[in-house]
Amino acid sequence: MPDHTLDDAVDLLHTWYPPGTAEAWDAVGLVSGDPQAPVRRVLFAVDPSFEVALEAAEMDADLLVVHHPLFLTPVHGVARTTPKGRTLGVLADAGCALLTAHTNADRAVGGVSEALATALGLSDVGPIQPGAGTPTDKLTVFVPTDAAGRVREALGRAGAGQIGDYEQASYTGTGEGRFRPMVGANPHIGTVGAVELVPESRIEVVLPRARRTAAVAAMLEVHPYEEPAYDVIALADVGDTTSGVGRIGTVEEVSLAQFARQVAAALPLTAHGVRGGGDPPRPVRRVAVCGGAGDFLLDTVLGTDADVYVTSDVRHHPAAEFLEKDGPALVDVAHWAAEWTWLPVVEARLRAAWGDTVETRVSTRCTDPWTFRP
């Protein structure tokens, strides 16, 4: 039996970069390959280009992990008369699977924007636009004190009380329950028509909203009362301060011109190079970055304390209007170069997880579409 299968690789990559966090228009995940096939050699690249597919075949790779989707827009066939069909054909002939992590990798911890921030030497890094937190509820139930333990256990088994690396977390207070069973009731404690006072525990747990139905059902199944008193409250989303869109952090203060030179030195060489917009002597300490095309964040970055925004593919008019507002300066870098910084990060994560059972390589083939300057 192989040490690891393609299914194992997909599970691992999807744990780090959950497909559910990708944009609705995106196309991420396993594109081709047999989930039960062994994975011993993995190539990482930005683009699933024909040249990269040939590199994977020459390496005898079992898996090609890319950032950009091969099929971002729908196709009706993959004949080798088309560029995408030729790429997929080379991979299929070589027995190499294809896996894409795109916008799900952009915003993740250890993802593309974070890798770019690290490559540029940023410290104290956080998201420009924090991600949404997991929708969460709080369930409160009142139960006779002698039955509180089994209710807590049932809630824990149903997925309630999971907080980070802790499980079965709950709060219990004590008090006095008061009720009077009416005609038709079949009380576990007390008699019909008489007011009953019972020592009770108030149990509170938080739980993912997706587990609401299961948690309530589990609680009702073990609760001794015929009609338990409980409530479920939807909690406010406080966001995720670790993942999200873009990154912002701090560098040792330098001029904008010097910072731009540092950016150029940190990224792979491309014909596009590095361009700056703003006053070259301007001091730079706070830096915002977004891997890939980041002009959708321009208005958000204006509301931060960033001195400069590093991204790619900023169009003429949005760039001019941004700079006219006396906000941060701009540094525009090659799209491919910015996102390439993620490849050594994900390669290192896989090697740390699988050790010597896997051979890996980061493709250094420049697939930026801008290939020369006259």
Please check the confidence at residue 252 and state whether its pLDDT lies above 90.
Answer: yes
Tell me the two tokens of residue 299.
């208005």
Q: Is 285 within a domain?
A: yes
51 and 64 share a domain? yes
Distance CA 49, CA 368 (A): 10
Same-domain pairing of 201 and 68: no
Same domain, 209 and 144: yes
114 within a domain of the structure (yes/no): no
One domain, residues 159 and 97: no
| Rounded CA separation 329/288 (Å) | 10
Domain boundary among 205, 234, 263: 234
CATH number (domain holding residue 184) = 3.30.70.120
What is the per-residue pLDDT for 237? 80
**Judgement on whether residues 157 and 12 belong to the same structural domain of the protein:** no
Q: Mark which of 186, 202, 234 sits at the end of a domain.
A: 234
Inside any domain, residue 158? yes
pLDDT category at 88 given cuts 50, 70, 90 is: very high
The structural domain count of the chain equals: 3
> What mean pLDDT is reported for the chain?
94
| Structural domain range at position 213 | 136-234
144 and 284, same structural domain? no
d(CA 205, CA 203): 7
Residues 219 and 142 in one domain: yes
Report yes or no on 368 lying in a domain.
no
Regarding whether 26 and 93 lie in a shared domain, the answer is yes
For residue 368, is pLDDT > 70? yes
Q: Give the pLDDT mean for 92-106.
A: 97
Same-domain pairing of 36 and 171? no
pLDDT at 241 over 80: no
Does any domain span residue 115?
no
Return all residues near 30 (Cβ < 8 A) that are at least 6 apart. 6, 10, 97, 98, 99
271 and 225 fall within a common domain: no
- In this predicted structure, what is the pLDDT of residue 190? 86
Does 148 map to a domain? Answer: yes
pLDDT in tens, 16-30: 999 989 999 999 999
List, for residues 267-288, the tens digit of each pLDDT value.
Answer: 999 999 999 999 999 999 999 9
pLDDT for 39 equals 97
For 199-215, how does the pLDDT look when each residue is reduced to its tens digit (9 = 90+)?
999 999 999 999 999 99
Task: Report pLDDT for 75.
Answer: 86
Average pLDDT over residues 308-334: 96
> Residues 256-274: what's their mean pLDDT?
97
User: Is the pLDDT at 307 greater than 70, yes or no?
Assistant: yes
Q: Report the percent of the chain where pLDDT is more than 90.
A: 86
HSE-CB at 349 with a 13 A cutoff on CA atoms is 17
161 is a domain residue? yes
pLDDT at 132: 75
Query: CA-to-CA distance for 142 and 242, rounded, in angstroms?
Result: 35
**Residue 278 and residue 332: Cα distance in Å, rounded?**
11
- Which pLDDT does position 89 carry in this prediction? 96
Same domain, 213 and 69: no
Is 371 inside any structural domain? no
Residue 1, pLDDT > 70, answer no
pLDDT one-digit tens code per residue, 111-169: 999 999 999 999 999 999 987 777 899 999 999 999 999 999 999 999 999 988 899 99
CATH number of 41's domain: 3.40.1390.30
The tens digit of pLDDT for each residue in 178-194 reads 989 999 888 888 888 88
On whether both 220 and 301 belong to a single domain, the answer is no
Q: How confident is the model at residue 70 (pLDDT cuts 50, 70, 90)?
A: very high
Confidence of residue 13 (pLDDT cuts 50, 70, 90): very high
Q: What is the pLDDT of residues 35-68, one digit of tens each?
A: 999 999 999 999 999 999 999 999 999 999 999 9
